[in-house]
Amino acid sequence: MSTITLDRPLSWQDAAAVADGAEFALTQATWQRLAHGRAIVEAIVNRGLLAYGVNTGVGALCNVLVDRPQQRQLSRNIIMSHAVGVGSPLSVGETRAIMVAAINNYAHGRSGVRPTLVEQMLALLAHDCIPEVPSLGSVGYISHMAHIALVLIGEGFATYQGRRLTGGQALVAIGREPLVLEAKEGLSLVNGSPCVTGLASLALARASRLADWADVIAAMTFENLRGQPVAFDAVSLSLRASPGMQEVGGRLRALLDGSAILAAATGRQTQDPLSLRAVPHVHGAVRDAMDTIGTTINLELASFTDNPAVMGTPEAPRVYSQAHAVAPGIGLAMDQLGIAVAELASMAERRIDRLVNPLVSGLPPFLAADSGVASGFMIAQYTAASLVSRNRRLASPASLDGGITSALQEDHLTHATPAALKAHDILDNAEHILAIELLAATQAYDLQEGGLARASGTDRFYQSVRALLPPYRDDRPLSGDIVLARSILRQKPQ
């Protein structure tokens, strides 16, 4: 497994790699930035300078002063009162992604947390000892990081080597002791945008992988339905200025090169339906959107998003109270990603329908080997249609939800983290839809008449599915095949 070393702000690919299990380390210069930021906070505490969350309450209590003896208690209390998540836990990958984004944020050296706090988080990642983080309850940030912070101080729960342990037990298991939080650390642990940034990095990695599979599977369906590959001609596609479309067109041409099935169907009709001939346009538009989204995530990772920011020197400290924890840009990007993935899946469902519909497919009804006795993929298309409708509901923008919290102090909410969470939900549904298309396209090859050869590009993927699953003959629950096909899609196509 590779090691990601943080010497400058991470990219979304870096964050996703650590979420997937890559090792994570900081350079000496990064540790020095952390120490410098902490020295500034200690100077603020020692000199009694007014600073939000250091010696004041938080939220609507920002004007309530907290004297020095109570500042440790303030930090601990913030974690306890902000750990209000509900619902099923985030996945290990999602929680790891949030943790690496949080460390990236602290590494700017503007939060003023102690290096030992970052060491504690790195130890959890290194040992794959992952805090239990309820998925629901965030209007933008706060609750997810609070549950991670619980484990740092020996509270809450974590999963380690397949066991659910208390935070205290988990720390003992990896040779660490609970932290006693100092001034400002409680606030810094729940502030900023690492929740949405980590989740967004992971979502974009998933979407990128799924987009690659969508091209492969669409090519398989196109070949089965004997499409007209002239629609993917490089000269024709060059008329539209879309880098994503050119990339998809090139992939489709390579996948379908040498297909005897398509050669035999040349000129059979003037043009194919849009779910076939517009694959480069729709898949390409999704890729173009993902490029823009990736830039937005990288900008967020390059930004300091805690509040307040500590700057200057210990001799001349400066404190900036601002709204950097609000993340409208990445929230909008996650809404866009959800819409893009939903459209990718919607087009896949239309192709599934064409594969199973004998009125347009030229194949046995519903891809059943013995129509009438067997239903084949009839009801699998129902599942795809249901998930497309669910995605349509989920794709409604979270950014517009609004709301008011903290006694009018937090009176504009961007719902960035919920936008990222629902993007993951949409990705779950899209993976199932494309898994169904992969199975249907593979089955359709088995039912082709004439014995014509597949393209070598598509044949490779047909063979990989058939190495795991025999043709479907209504002889087993089809849901099991869908689960297995989805597991294939969780790996990058080779």
Residues 379 and 428 in one domain: yes
Return all residues near 478 (Cβ < 8 A) that are at least 6 apart: 377, 379, 380, 439, 472
Task: Give how many domains the chain has, as a whole number.
Answer: 2
* CB-CB contact of 232 with 218 (8 Å): no
In this prediction, residue 385 has a pLDDT band, given cuts at 50, 70 and 90, of: very high
Domain assignment present for 494: no
What is the DSSP pairing of strand 86-89 with strand 134-136? antiparallel
96 or 403, higher pLDDT: 96
140 or 364, higher pLDDT: 364
In this prediction, residue 353 has a pLDDT band, given cuts at 50, 70 and 90, of: very high
In 3D space, the residue among 58, 40, 105, 111 whose CA is nearest the CA of residue 312 turns out to be: 40
Burial tier of 69 (Cβ tally within 10 Å: 0-12, 13-18, 19+): exposed
**Can you tell me whether residue 80 is helix, strand or coil?**
helix
Q: How many CB atoms are located within 10 Å of the residue 161 CB? A: 9
Find the CATH number of the domain harbouring 179.
1.10.275.10
Residues 48 and 179 in one domain: yes
Domain final position from 165, 191, 217: 191
Q: What is the mean pLDDT of residues 168-186?
A: 96
In 3D space, the residue among 133, 117, 248, 220 whose CA is nearest the CA of residue 177 turns out to be: 117
Find the CATH number of the domain harbouring 434.
1.20.200.10
Residues 144 and 186 in one domain: yes
Which region among 97-101, 134-138, 336-340, 429-433 has the lowest average model confidence (pLDDT)?
134-138
In this prediction, residue 12 has a pLDDT band, given cuts at 50, 70 and 90, of: very high
Q: What is the mean pLDDT of residues 286-306?
A: 97
In this prediction, residue 62 has a pLDDT band, given cuts at 50, 70 and 90, of: low
Residues 155 and 228 in one domain: no
Which region among 264-268, 308-312, 322-326, 357-361 has the lowest average model confidence (pLDDT)?
322-326
Domain assignment present for 376: yes
Residues 175 and 41 in one domain: yes
Residues 231 and 179 in one domain: no
Residue type, 383: T
Domain assignment present for 142: yes
Kindly report the average pLDDT of the chain as a whole number: 93
In this prediction, residue 141 has a pLDDT band, given cuts at 50, 70 and 90, of: confident
Beta pairing partners, 4: 24
pLDDT of residue 269: 87
Sole residue written with tokens 């902490």: 38
Residues 151 and 223 in one domain: no
Residues 335 and 405 in one domain: yes
Domain assignment present for 19: yes
Q: Assess whether the previous peptide bond of 243 is cis (omega < 30° from 0).
A: no
Which two tokens mark 54?
């250091």
Q: What is the mean pLDDT of residues 326-334?
A: 92
Domain final position from 168, 191, 214: 191
52, 445, 462, 472: which is the annotated catalytic residue?
Answer: 52
Residue type, 367: L
| Catalytic residue status for 52 | yes
Relative orientation angle of helices 328-356 and 416-446, to the nearest 10 degrees: 20
**Can you tell me whether residue 222 is helix, strand or coil?**
helix
Residue numbers of the domain that contains 248:
200-489
Q: How many CB atoms are located within 10 Å of the residue 208 CB? A: 19
Dihedral of CA atoms 418, 422, 427, 430 in degrees, nearest 10, equals -170
Kindly report the backbone phi and psi dihedral angles of residue 72, in degrees, each rounded to the nearest multiple of 5, phi listed first.
-65, -45
Residues 348 and 208 in one domain: yes
Which region among 30-34, 324-328, 408-412, 414-418 has the lowest average model confidence (pLDDT)?
408-412
Return all residues near 116 (Cβ < 8 A) that are at least 6 apart: 179
Domain assignment present for 318: yes
Q: What is the mean pLDDT of residues 1-20?
A: 93
143 or 61, higher pLDDT: 143
Q: What is the mean pLDDT of residues 151-180?
A: 98
Whether the predicted pLDDT of 100 surpasses 90: yes
Residues 135 and 211 in one domain: no
What pTM value is reported for the model?
A: 0.95
* Angstrom distance (rounded) from CA 352 to CA 449: 19
Which region among 89-98, 305-314, 330-339 has the lowest average model confidence (pLDDT)?
305-314
Domain final position from 191, 226, 256: 191
Burial 180-192 (b: 16+ CB within 10 A, else e): ebbbbbbbbbbbb
* Angstrom distance (rounded) from CA 380 to CA 172: 48
Domain assignment present for 373: yes
Whether the predicted pLDDT of 408 surpasses 80: no
Q: How many CB atoms are located within 10 Å of the residue 3 CB? A: 10
Domain assignment present for 445: yes
Residues 314 and 286 in one domain: yes
Residues 96 and 221 in one domain: no
pLDDT of residue 60: 59
Relative orientation angle of helices 416-446 and 378-394, to the nearest 10 degrees: 160
Domain assignment present for 216: yes
